[in-house]
């Protein structure tokens, strides 16, 4: 089953419960617009490689399209389409005035030099530029992209349209990025984890936590979880993981990763691989890397009490059902990792007004918005007797469907 089909299982359950007509379901399920482009790049050795690039605008009824751009070998049309639809439901759930989109270039960014990445980003941007706009579609970082990628995108777009900081979010702060954007996803994940743990009667202080992934989101989750008093017992990145039953020395681990480029050879802990870590005995598991890491094969072996999805779509629907049957609580991606796009919204607003917020203002607003979304999901879940994931989709899909009717779209 494709990733898009998997996401649509969740969408279909929500539309069934909402009683949407077949026509509206079809309209909401499908992306509104998809663009596939060739991205030719002159490599450092003089050869030419042609990558495939995508931008999928899934639904724009609630506002400009919004969503990240990922550079990853699996970023094909289907995956980008699935992630674009998740953005539609996520943005609606946290009630920010955006539709959903996603972009990607199918490549291995780790095998490209900085100059090659710069050239690839510029060509990708100029090839999709006619779909973008400060009030039309605003990209942001995702897997394999960063503030630097956004600076290149903004520069390429501004060469054509004039100085346009609001065309992307997640930019460097010096270029109009928002303070607090880089850590926002991790902050949101940990905030939601703290509330969910308390709801389960678990004290987050001292809770044993496993975090898979040490990219932007994973690394900030590790720091925020440790600041909150959790015992971070295992962390991994693409090279592998490390484990210590007594809790890792997070400060030393972060310093080590900065030096060596990986957490996997951190000397003060035992090595373990990326699959083993998902099966560790722990209180809270946070998959913060890639999609579909928990599946029917390993879901029966997950030993956490609470799973918080920092990555997009880290659980297959089968895994989700297995964890549900086993009484393991799951906080879904469209709620748990929404902190990033929430602060993207603040960044876009600041760019439109040419005004800067302080870090306290950003963090306070972020905490309030994600806390409100969590409370709505919890309340819906209890009222309807459904999982947090189904509740989150019910709210997101319901809001988009309501706006369709209101605008008299068809």
The residues near 158 (Cβ < 8 Å, ≥ 6 apart) are 164, 167
Smallest distance, Å, CB 256 to ligand GLU? Answer: 27
Instruction: Name the residue nearer to ligand GLU (CB basis): 275 or 349.
Output: 349
Query: Residue 64, interface with ligand GLU (CB under 6 A)?
Result: no
- Among 66, 90, 102, 171, the active-site one is 102
User: Minimum CB separation from ligand GLU for residue 98, in Å?
Assistant: 8
**Residue 68 interacting with ligand GLU (CB under 6 A):** yes
Contact flag: residue 142 with ligand GLU (CB under 6 A): yes
Residue of minimal CB distance from ligand GLU?
Answer: 68
Q: Indicate if 102 belongs to the active site.
A: yes
As a three-state string, the secondary structure of the chain is CCHHHHHHHHHHHHHHHHCCCHHHHHHHHCCCEEEEEEEEEECCCCCEEEEEEEEEEEECCCCCEEEEEEEECCCCHHHHHHHHHHHHHHHHHCCCCCCEEEEEEECCHHHCCHHHHHHHHHHHHHHHHHHCECCCEEEEECCCCCHHHHHHHHHHHHHHHCCCHHHCCCCCHHHCCCCCHHHHHHHHHHHHHHHHHHHCCCCCCCCEEEEECCCHHHHHHHHHHHHCCCEEEEEEECCEEEECCCCCCHHHHHHHHHHHCCCCCCCCCEEECHHHHHCCCCCEEEECCCCCCECCCCHHHCCCCEEECCCCCCECHHHHHHHHHCCCEEECHHHHCCHHHHHHHHHHHHHHHCCCCCHHHHHHHHHHHHHHHHHHHHHHHHHHCCCHHHHHHHHHHHHHHHHHHHHCCC
Dist. CA 331–CA 338, nearest whole Å: 12
Residue from 10, 140, 224, 284 binding ligand GLU (CB under 6 A):
140
Binding mask 301-340 for ligand GLU (x = CB under 6 A): -----------x------------------------x--x
Q: Which stretch binds ligand GLU (CB under 6 A): 62-70, 258-266, 352-360, 364-372?
A: 62-70
Which of 20/80 has CB closer to ligand GLU? 80
Q: Which stretch binds ligand GLU (CB under 6 A): 52-60, 64-72, 225-233, 319-327?
A: 64-72
Choose, by CB under 6 A, the member of 59, 121, 127, 169 that binds ligand GLU: 169
Assess 351 for contact with ligand GLU (CB under 6 A): no
Residue 341 binds ligand GLU (CB under 6 A): yes
Residue with smaller CB distance to ligand GLU, 27 or 140: 140
Q: Contacts with ligand GLU in 206-225 (CB under 6 A)?
A: none
Q: Can residue 396 be called a binding residue for ligand GLU (CB under 6 A)?
A: no
- Does 75 help bind ligand GLU (rule: CB under 6 A)? no
Q: CB of 150: closest distance to ligand GLU in angstroms?
A: 10
Q: How many residues bind ligand GLU (CB under 6 A)?
A: 12
Rule CB under 6 A: is residue 72 a binding residue for ligand GLU?
no
Residues that bind ligand GLU (CB under 6 A): 66-68, 140, 142, 169-170, 312, 337, 340-341, 344
Active site residues: 102
């Amino acid at each position: 089953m494709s990733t898009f089909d998997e996401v649509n299982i969740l969408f279909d359950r929500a539309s069934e419960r909402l009683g949407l007509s077949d026509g509206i379901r079809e309209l909401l399920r499908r992306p509104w617009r998809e663009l596939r482009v060739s991205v030719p790049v002159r490599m450092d050795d003089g050869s030419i490689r042609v990558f495939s690039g995508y931008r999928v605008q899934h639904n724009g009824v609630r506002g400009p399209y919004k969503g990240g751009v990922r550079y990853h070998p699996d970023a094909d049309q289907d995956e980008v389409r699935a992630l674009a639809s998740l953005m539609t439901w996520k943005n609606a759930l946290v009630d920010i005035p955006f539709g959903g989109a996603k972009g990607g270039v199918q490549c291995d960014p780790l095998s490209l030099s900085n100059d090659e990445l710069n050239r690839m980003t510029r060509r990708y941007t100029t090839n999709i530029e006619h779909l973008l706009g400060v009030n039309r579609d605003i990209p942001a970082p995702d897997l394999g992209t960063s503030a630097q990628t956004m600076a290149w995108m903004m520069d390429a777009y501004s060469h054509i349209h004039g100085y346009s900081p609001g065309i992307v979010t997640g930019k460097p702060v010096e270029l109009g990025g928002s303070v607090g954007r880089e850590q926002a996803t991790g902050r949101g994940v940990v905030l939601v984890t703290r509330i969910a743990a308390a709801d389960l009667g678990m004290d987050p202080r001292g809770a044993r936590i496993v975090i898979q992934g040490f990219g932007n989101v994973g690394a900030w989750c590790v720091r925020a979880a440790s600041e909150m008093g959790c015992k971070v017992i295992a962390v991994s990145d693409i090279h592998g993981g490390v484990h210590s039953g007594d809790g890792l020395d997070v400060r030393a681990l972060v310093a080590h990763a900065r030096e060596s480029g990986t957490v996997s050879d951190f000397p003060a802990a035992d090595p373990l691989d990326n699959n083993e870590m998902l099966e560790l005995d722990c209180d809270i598991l946070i998959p913060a890397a890639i999609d579909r890491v928990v599946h029917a094969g390993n879901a029966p072996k997950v030993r956490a009490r609470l799973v918080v999805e920092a990555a997009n779509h880290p659980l297959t629907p089968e895994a989700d059902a297995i964890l549900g049957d086993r009484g393991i609580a799951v906080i879904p991606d469209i709620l748990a990792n929404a902190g990033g796009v929430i602060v993207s919204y603040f960044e876009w607003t600041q760019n439109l007004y040419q005004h800067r917020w302080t870090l306290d203002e950003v963090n306070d607003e972020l905490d309030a918005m994600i806390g409100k979304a969590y409370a709505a999901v919890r309340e819906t879940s209890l009222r309807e007797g459904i999982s947090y994931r189904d509740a989150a989709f019910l709210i997101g899909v319901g809001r988009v469907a309501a706006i369709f009717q209101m605008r008299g779209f068809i």
